[in-house]
Amino acid sequence: MENDNQPQRNTKEILEKLTIGLFIATLFIIGFNVVSINNLGKSQITTNAAITTTLAKTTTTSSLPFINVAPKGVPSFYGKELGVSYDDVSATDPQKAESTIKKLGVLDEKLSLQGADLARYIRIASRIGCEYCCGSPSIIFENGQAACGCSHSYAMRGVAKYLITYHPAEFTDDQILEELGKWKTLFFPDKLAQKAAILKAQGIELNYINLASNKYTGIEKKTSAGTNTMVGGC
């Protein structure tokens, strides 16, 4: 009898082992699938986030039109006197641009202001900075001394001193500040073209005080940066 039941027990044991083996294999497959699905989900989330970020940056930059705000021609009164033109400062002719910037910068060193002229100079020059080059929030300190040593600031200070000294009646304070803004626009054409587009999009009047003075400094930082051409050494 014992021998008759032996094959049955063997068969039963084999079936039990197969069942356990299949069960373990099933658990392994289920676990593998769960891990794979989770990893795929994470990968998809990461990819979607990267795509979203890229699209956001692209939209922010490309949606802003390029606005050419560079002044043209010879400045009134002082242009012929100094032999300078707005057209002389361009990234296409670095040598001529450097020469013109230095010519204006020399005025800052040669001209000295006192009394009412100095007070006027401080009132005007303190309203414009050199944030795209040396990072100075103003090209002068409160006492009128130079706050930035880059060539752009020398040039803007030189223009201000010259106009206050030789054309005090022909230019108002705002008009002198506009002249500094015009030159600054030539020194940093890309940055100020981008800023012009932002001002226009926000319904802000486009003039050289709004564009280049400290009035709206930093407004362009709210969008992604584009190109940053700088004319003249820092």
Those residues with Cβ within 8 angstroms of residue 3's Cβ, 6 or more apart along the chain or in another chain? none
Name the H helices within the chain: 2-62, 78-82, 94-110, 115-125, 151-166, 173-187, 189-201, 208-212
Q: Predicted confidence band at 65 (pLDDT cuts at 50, 70, 90)?
A: confident
Per-residue pLDDT at 133: 85
Category of 115 on φ-ψ map: left (φ > 0), alpha (ψ -120 to 50) or beta? left
Per-residue pLDDT at 27: 53
Per-residue pLDDT at 37: 42
Question: Which two structure tokens, joined as six digits, stand for 166?
Answer: 């030789």
Taking residues 164-189, what's their average pLDDT? Answer: 98
pTM as predicted: 0.70
Res 161 pLDDT > 50 = yes
Query: Which residue in 76, 78, 100, 77 sits closest to 87, CA to CA?
Result: 100
Q: How many CB atoms lie within 10 A of CB 6?
A: 10
Per-residue pLDDT at 66: 77
Res 138 pLDDT > 50 = yes
Q: How far is CA 16 from CA 3, 13, 19, 29, in A?
A: 21, 5, 5, 20
Task: Pick 194 or 45 by higher pLDDT.
Answer: 194
Q: Predicted confidence band at 49 (pLDDT cuts at 50, 70, 90)?
A: very low
Task: Pick 48 or 105 by higher pLDDT.
Answer: 105
Taking residues 167-177, what's their average pLDDT? Answer: 98
Between CA 105 and CA 110, with CA 107 as vertex, the angle to 5 degrees is: 125
Per-residue pLDDT at 103: 98
Taking residues 74-93, what's their average pLDDT? Answer: 97
Task: Pick 187 or 24 by higher pLDDT.
Answer: 187
Per-residue pLDDT at 60: 43
Q: What value does the mean pLDDT of the chain take?
A: 80
Task: Pick 90 or 7 by higher pLDDT.
Answer: 90
How far is the C-alpha of 63 from the C-alpha of 100, rounded, in Å? 34
Q: Predicted confidence band at 120 (pLDDT cuts at 50, 70, 90)?
A: very high
Taking residues 79-102, what's their average pLDDT? Answer: 97
Q: How many CB atoms lie within 10 A of CB 94?
A: 13
Quick check: 98 and 78 in contact, CB under 8 A?
no
Question: Which two structure tokens, joined as six digits, stand for 32?
Answer: 């593998």
Helices 189-201 & 173-187 angle (0-180, nearest 10): 120
Res 217 pLDDT > 90 = yes
Taking residues 14-32, what's their average pLDDT? Answer: 55
How far is the C-alpha of 29 from the C-alpha of 85, rounded, in Å? 78
Res 33 pLDDT > 80 = no
Q: Predicted confidence band at 228 (pLDDT cuts at 50, 70, 90)?
A: low
Taking residues 36-59, what's their average pLDDT? Answer: 37
